[in-house]
Amino acid sequence: MSSLPTGVSTRHTGEPLVRALNVIKAFHGAEVLKGIDFDVHPGEVVCLLGPSGSGKTTFLRCINQLEKIDGGRIWVDGDLMGYDDRGGTLHQLSDKAIAAQRCEIGMVFQRFNLFPHMTALANVMEAPVRVRGEKKSDVRVRALGLLERVGLSDKADSYPAQLSGGEQQRVAISRALAMSPKLMLFDEPTSALDPELVGDVLAVMRELAAQGMTMIVVTHEMSFAREVADRVVFMDGGVVVESGHPKDVIDNPQHERTKLFLKRMRSHDDPDRPTVQDARSQG
């Protein structure tokens, strides 16, 4: 191959934190990811855009092995995910070894997935105490600090059901950060939220990006992508269509599919326009 795969950044020269090569994933014979190439460098914030069903969630889930890939390879921080490569032969990793790989990767879900039978504080403390075996008193101090960082010190003893969606999502971010991950994955973290709660969550994510966290964010928040992302990757139909600086991709897309998608997104963003009819007339 002469040209670099589209998802691979050319700006960086060092080792990527995440390297995905030719990732293929099929559900019941239907290919959902059709050879994804994708690099993320340390400290980089990459926003993943794309229409519904394009495989964004599936790709994120493949990175931390909630889905098993059918082809290609994914490395995070140099470790091949899910397998041990012994002289060219892949050996499946054990449940424990996979769990250890996941410790390095924080994930934030669209539907928060907080543990409802635990308080906010207990949610944040759970993994460091139960997975890493750290001392409860130490973890407690750190967890309270994390909750304070997301502005929820006064909600430490609330159960998730007593929190608003935005508060739940911020607790979920703290929960992921409690494991001090090298990489954070966000799957549409604000799309289940009421519009007035979105800002609080995005603010936390901005701050995290500013502190140098490596992040892959699936989002429909164009302004967030434009302002925070170092790179935007546009996916459609299980392939990376184009990738580049947010200004270039969002304001000057090269591919037809990207243009169409962004046009639709804009009509969604603008409250003055009748979005449903607009989308219909374009689709």
Is residue 99 at the binding interface for ligand ATP, with CB under 6 A as the rule?
A: no
Terminal alpha carbon distance of the chain: 35
In the region spanning residues 56 to 85, those forming contacts with ligand ATP, defined by CB under 6 A, are 56-58
127 sits near another protein (criterion: CB under 8 A): yes
Phi, psi angles (nearest 5°) of residue 36: -90, 130
Binding test (CB under 6 A) with ligand ATP, winner from 8, 17, 32, 209: 32
The answer to the question of residue 174 lying near Mg ion (CB under 5 A) is: no
Dig out the tokens for 274 from the structure. Answer: 């009748």
Q: Can you spell out the DSSP letters for 123-165?
A: HHHHHHHHTS---HHHHHHHHHHHHHHTT-GGGTT--GGGS-H
Task: Using the Cα atoms of residue 100, residue 105, residue 106 and residue 107 in order, give the sign of their dihedral.
Answer: negative
> Which residue in 54, 57, 169, 174 binds Mg ion (CB under 5 A)?
57
183 in contact with another protein (CB under 8 A): no
Residue closest to ligand ATP, measured at CB: 57
Order of all β-strands in the sheet with 239-244:
105-108, 183-187, 214-218, 45-49, 231-236, 239-244
| Euclidean distance between CA atoms 128 and 140, whole angstroms | 10
Residue 180 interacting with another protein (CB under 8 A) = no
Q: Which residues bind ligand ATP (CB under 6 A)?
A: 27, 32, 50, 52-58
Q: Which residues bind another protein (CB under 8 A)?
A: 64, 66, 95-96, 99-100, 102-103, 105-107, 109, 111, 113-119, 126-127, 130-132, 151-152, 154, 158-163, 172, 175-176, 179, 190, 195-196, 198-200, 202-204, 206-207, 221, 223-224, 227-228
